[in-house]
Amino acid sequence: GYYTKKYGKLDYTSGHHSLSNRVEAWTRNVDFLLQQEGRPVAKLIGNKTYIRVMQKDWKVTEEAANWIKNKATKLSQPFALYLGLNLPHPYPSPSSGENYGASTFLTSPYWLQKVIYDAIKIPKWPPFSEMHPVDYYSTYTKNCSGQFTQEEIRNIRAHYYAMCAETDAMLGEILSALNETGLLGRTHV
């Protein structure tokens, strides 16, 4: 058998959205007004030296890397390590104002400078009438149905890509720990 270890979130139920998922799974196709979150926003924090934006994810990444270095090397059986990160999910907006409940795409200049703005593609957004019902539902409830300027879309996408870069750096820490311990060559990632 495998020795198993878990760090971070584990959405084996329906996760953060448990209650709403239990209700909305049945009401998704019912013709009534859906609740909308606040409008998605892009937010910059810190400066070019601020690397660990998602502190909770960095903490569990560090714990997992330390487990690899200090425990996995001593095991006499194969292991399965699960690392559940919140990134690159956007943060729920903590404000109670106009954008309450909005998806906040949060990053720092350190990660944002890694994004090539000119390479960001802006997709054509189909009208509601052409969307699959699940896409319609998500578009409406996540408040992505409003008119966004090209610059707003590019900015949100840039922040999302920066969040992906931070996620990649965390996974790089795990790969480094596996490499340092000689486990990388015989570990499926």
Determine the pLDDT at residue 183. Answer: 97
Residue 22 has pLDDT above 60, yes or no: no
Closest-CA residue to 175 (of 69, 51, 88): 69
Binned at pLDDT 50, 70 and 90, residue 10 comes out as confident
Determine the pLDDT at residue 143. Answer: 83
* Mean pLDDT across the chain: 87
Share of the chain above pLDDT 70, in %: 82
The rounded distance, in Å, linking the Cα atoms of 170 and 167 is 5
Determine the pLDDT at residue 15. Answer: 54
Determine the pLDDT at residue 23. Answer: 59
Under a CB-based contact definition with an 8 Å cutoff, are residues 77 and 1 in contact?
Answer: yes
Determine the pLDDT at residue 144. Answer: 84
pLDDT tens digits for range 44-78: 999 999 999 999 999 999 999 999 999 999 999 99
DSSP secondary structure of the chain = --EEEEEE---SSSGGGHHHHHHHHHHTTSSSPPP-PPPPEEEE-S-TT----SHHHHHHHHHHHHHHHHTGGG-SS-EEEEEE--TTSPEEP---STTTT-EEEEE-HHHHTTS-GGG---PPPPPGGGS-HHHHHHHHHTT--S---HHHHHHHHHHHHHHHHHHHHHHHHHHHHHHHTT-GGG---
Residue 18 has pLDDT above 80, yes or no: no
Domain boundaries, the chain: 3-186
Structure tokens at 64: 């997992």
Binned at pLDDT 50, 70 and 90, residue 132 comes out as confident
Residue 84 has pLDDT above 90, yes or no: yes
